[in-house]
């Protein structure tokens, strides 16, 4: 299923409320969600139009207002879900199927719902980092790592969420100290994405990096990057008083949704065993519904205990976390 530009398709007018059609704004590239959308259409007969919006989704929805053609937003990261909610662009959805999602992975006001999870883990050099050498997020501040850590910017949403979780566990002063010490351990200035950090480990520029689990699957499926992936192993660090930090890809129904019935059917479909399997396997992520197995590749990374901290709490602490990141000039 190819993506279309919805504005051109709909020419600025709303579709009839009962039209068997669904319009999605997505932060995920079409190739990552097309198998899911095709399965939904095959099951329901509802045509799906998707628009890939990497940046500026909030601004676009605000500009379109009540005339927005978008019924559904599919996002990556708790930050973007929180931003869309805080802008008043989502509506609450109460449905028994959605209540099967663990409470810590959905909004308390039922405006957004996590549909898959990923862990924020450590990629460690197989050659230069011993088993058990890194076990906690707190340990990343240890001077033993000086000059050995690579990182993308901490102003990135994924690292802001990790910092917000650290803040929830330890408070402001301890988080400021952790950021300062972690910054001092960097091998070079933060830059690039999570995969670029693994490349740096492969190249011998550093020994460990922080990244999302699903990038291992992406790298293994890329002939150019497979060698990078094979040079590292995944380590699931924990907070000293908790588990491994997880984040979500999520869904919400827009406040302006012209096709609300179809939108609800899609949200219900997302928590079905079939959709959970497809979405998790397509993106190398973890299903959120009990009883749905992980893909063979994801299962091969091993078991871990997700942190019990509710993601809405993490989202609420994002502004404070970003303030601390900027105070210590982490990316400077």
- pLDDT at res. 20: 85
Contacts (Cβ under 8 Å, ≥6 apart) of 228: 195, 198, 199, 201, 202, 219
Instruction: Look up the pTM and report it.
Output: 0.90
pLDDT band of residue 9 (cuts 50, 70, 90) is very low
- pLDDT at res. 10: 38
- pLDDT at res. 39: 96
Pairing state between β 149-150 and 286-287: unpaired
Contacts (Cβ under 8 Å, ≥6 apart) of 78: 114, 161, 247, 248, 250, 311, 314, 315, 318
Which helix (H) or strand (E) is 114 found in, with range? strand 113-125
Mean pLDDT, all residues of the chain: 93
pLDDT tens digits for range 217-257:
999 999 999 999 999 999 999 999 999 999 999 999 999 99
Query: Which tokens sit at 199?
Result: 């490349």
User: Is residue 186 within 8 Å of 150, Cβ to Cβ?
Assistant: yes
Q: How far is CA 97 from the centre of its chain?
A: 22
3-state secondary structure of 235: strand
CA distance 253 to 93: 8
pLDDT tens digits for range 253-275:
999 999 999 999 999 999 999 99
pLDDT tens digits for range 29-48:
888 899 999 999 999 999 99
pLDDT tens digits for range 93-118:
999 999 999 999 999 999 999 999 99
- pLDDT at res. 29: 84
> Average pLDDT for residues 139-157, to the nearest whole number?
97
Q: CA 150 → CA 12, 122, 182, 219, distances in Å?
A: 46, 10, 10, 17
Domains with residue ranges and CATH for the chain? 6-117+246-299 (3.40.190.10), 119-245+305-327 (3.40.190.10)
User: Is residue 93 within 8 Å of 233, Cβ to Cβ?
Assistant: no
Q: Does the pLDDT of residue 14 top 70, yes or no?
A: no
CA distance 154 to 159: 5
Helices (H), the chain: 6-10, 30-44, 57-64, 78-86, 157-170, 172-184, 194-202, 214-220, 226-230, 260-270, 273-283, 296-299, 311-316, 318-327
Query: Which tokens sit at 290?
Result: 């009990």
- pLDDT at res. 28: 87
pLDDT tens digits for range 287-300:
999 999 999 999 99
pLDDT tens digits for range 173-205:
999 999 999 999 999 999 999 999 999 999 999
- pLDDT at res. 31: 83
**Which of 60, 55, 252, 88 minimizes the C-alpha distance to 157?**
55
- pLDDT at res. 11: 34
CA distance 13 to 258: 10
């Amino acid at each position: 299923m190819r993506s279309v530009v919805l504005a051109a398709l709909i020419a600025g007018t709303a579709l009839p409320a009962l039209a068997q059609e669904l319009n999605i704004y997505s932060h995920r590239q079409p190739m990552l969600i097309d198998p899911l959308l095709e399965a939904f259409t095959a099951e329901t007969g509802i045509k799906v139009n998707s628009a890939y919006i990497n940046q500026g989704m909030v601004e676009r929805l605000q500009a379109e207002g009540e005339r927005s053609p978008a019924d559904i937003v599919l996002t990556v990261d708790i930050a973007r879900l929180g931003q869309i909610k805080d802008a008043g662009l989502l509506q609450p959805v109460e449905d028994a199927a959605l209540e099967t999602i663990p409470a810590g992975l959905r909004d308390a006001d039922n405006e957004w719902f996590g549909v898959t999870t990923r862990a924020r883990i450590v990629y460690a050099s197989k050659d230069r980092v011993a088993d058990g050498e890194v076990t906690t997020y707190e340990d990343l501040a240890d001077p033993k790592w000086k000059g050995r850590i690579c990182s993308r910017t901490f102003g990135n949403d994924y690292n802001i969420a990790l910092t917000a979780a650290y803040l929830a566990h330890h408070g402001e002063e301890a988080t400021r100290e952790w950021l300062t010490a972690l910054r001092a351990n960097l091998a070079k200035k933060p830059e690039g994405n999570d995969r670029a950090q693994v490349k740096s480990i492969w190249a011998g520029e550093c020994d460990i990096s922080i990244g999302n689990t699903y990038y291992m699957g992406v790298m293994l499926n890329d002939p150019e990057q497979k060698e990078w992936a094979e040079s590292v192993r995944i380590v699931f660090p924990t907070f000293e008083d908790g588990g491994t930090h997880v984040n979500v890809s999520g869904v919400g129904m827009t406040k302006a949704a012209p096709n609300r019935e179809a939108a609800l059917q899609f949200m219900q479909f997302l928590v079905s065993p079939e959709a959970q399997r497809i979405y998790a396997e397509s993106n190398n992520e973890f299903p959120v519904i009990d009883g749905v197995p992980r893909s063979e590749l994801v299962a091969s990374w091993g078991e871990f205990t997700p942190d019990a901290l509710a993601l809405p709490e993490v989202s609420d602490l994002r502004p404070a976390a970003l303030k601390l990141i900027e105070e210590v000039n982490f990316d400077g």
